[in-house]
Amino acid sequence: MTDWIRLQISQPSTWRGLFLLLAAGFGITVSAELQAALPHLAIAALGVWEAVRKGRGFGEPGA
């Protein structure tokens, strides 16, 4: 059982899900302007992540 818990805690999706549950539970709301900006922020964060993570070389399987 502890191995399963360790596996779940190590996954980013678990942390995202917990954050969303907490945000919904505490009734956190954001302004309309921030709601409009969130997709752009997510795209920028994904761009930074893709730029700094270690990936495979071009042309290799799974690249």
Q: In this predicted model, what pLDDT tens digit does every residue of 13-45 receive, in sequence order?
A: 888 888 888 888 888 787 888 888 888 988 998
Cα angle value 4/7/13 (rounded, 5°): 120
Asked if 43 and 50 count as a contact pair (C-beta separation under 8 A), the reply is no
- pTM, full prediction: 0.45
**DSSP collapsed to 3 states, 21-34:** HHHHHCCCCCCHHH
pLDDT at residue 3 tops 60: yes
Number of residues that this document lists for the chain: 63
